[in-house]
Amino acid sequence: MSEILDRLKKAILEYDVEGAGNIAANAIEEGIDPIDAVDVAIKTIRQIGDGYSRGELWIPDLVGGASAMKAAMSVFEDELKKKGKKRQTLGSIVIGTVHGDIHDIGKTMVSTLAEAEGFEVIDLGVSIKAENFVAAVSEHNPVILALSALMTTTAFEQRKVIEMFKEQGMRESIKVAVGGGAVTEEFSQSIGADGYAPTAPMAINLFKELIGIGGQNE
């Protein structure tokens, strides 16, 4: 591995967001192939994920590592776009907290872990209206739509989103995963979702199951 990619790896392992972004920019300036750089970033975050699986690392480590990785990835993604290349991912996920709900943290944990696992994540943010989920899915053509709702008041909004996909004739072309504090397995079935996960790490396994690659970490 080149010296600069070694430094990138170190920055991600130290959860150094600014450093990872800067090193990524330097790597591109030095002419490193962004595909190779992405490979290093993902392998590094997997290393952190493995530490978590072994019980040696914790959620703050996952989120720290994922934040550093994301800072580097956005540089590499821009470069790939410029060169007209596409990196290998497990597929893309459109994710957001439903309309009327401004809770961000659970959804962000899922986003960062999914990125780390190798998905491309399009995070729409919080309080997203049903029609905006439809528009984002039309634009990005993801494999999974993930909806978050923390409150009992807004869990019903998840049903509204699913209903709108049905109305638009788009329900069959997408897997819908739901989660959040107010959601249960039973509720997810009652609103016609494809899957439910109670925690962020379990959501990642669910995503992998939904696209047919098994529920275990590599």
Partner 1 sequence: MSKRGLLRNFKPLEILTDEQVESIHSGTLHVLAKTGLRIEHERALKIFEQNGCKVDYSDKRVRIPPALVEECLRKCPSSFIVKARDEDNNVTIGGNTTYFKNSCGMQIIDLDTWEPRTATRKENYDAITVLDKLDNLHILGPYTAFFGFEGISPVMAMPESCAAKFRNSSKVQIEGYSNDSEIFQIQMAKAVDAEILQQILASPPMAWYSDAIEALFRAVEADFPVTVFSGQVSGGTAPATLPGAMITNNAELMGTIVLAQLIKPGTRVLPGDYAFAMNMRTGSPAFGAIGSSLHQVAFNQIWRWYGLPVYNVTSGYLSSKSMDYQAGYEKAIQAIMSAVSGANLIGLHGSVSAEITFHAVQAILDDDIAGMIKRFLEGILVNTETLAVDLIDQVGPIPGHFLGTEHSRKWWKIEQFLPKAADWMTYQEWIAQGKPKALDYGRQRMDEILATHKPKPLTPGQEEEIEKILEDSRNYYKKLGKL
Rule CB under 8 A: say whether 98 interacts with partner 1: no
| The pair of three-digit structure tokens given for residue 102, joined into one six-digit string | 């401004």
Q: Of the candidates 141, 173, 184, 189, which one interacts with partner 1 according to CB under 8 A? A: 184
Please, which residue, 80 or 109, has the CB nearer to partner 1? 109
Question: Quick one: which of 66, 72, 67 has its CA closest to 32?
Answer: 72
User: What SS3 class is residue 218?
Assistant: coil
By CB under 8 A, which span of 12-20, 79-87, 130-138, 186-194 interacts with partner 1?
186-194
Q: Least CB distance from residue 104 to partner 1, whole Å? A: 9
Size of the site for partner 1 (CB under 8 A): 25
Question: Quick one: which of 68, 140, 113, 80 has its CA closest to 207?
Answer: 113
HSE of 19 in the Cβ direction (CA atoms, 13 Å)?
15
Please calculate the CA angle 167-170-176 and round it to the nearest 5 degrees: 105
Rule CB under 8 A: say whether 213 interacts with partner 1: no
Rule CB under 8 A: say whether 204 interacts with partner 1: no
DSSP-assigned letters across all residues of 157-205: HHHHHHHHHHHTT-GGGSEEEEESTT--HHHHHHTT-SEE-SSHHHHHH
Considering only residues 141 through 170, tell me which ones interact with partner 1, judged by CB under 8 A. Answer: 150-153, 155-156
By CB under 8 A, which span of 27-35, 56-64, 75-83, 88-96 interacts with partner 1?
56-64
Rule CB under 8 A: say whether 54 interacts with partner 1: no
Contact residues: partner 1, CB under 8 A? 55, 58-60, 100-103, 105-106, 109, 150-153, 155-156, 184, 186-187, 190, 198-201
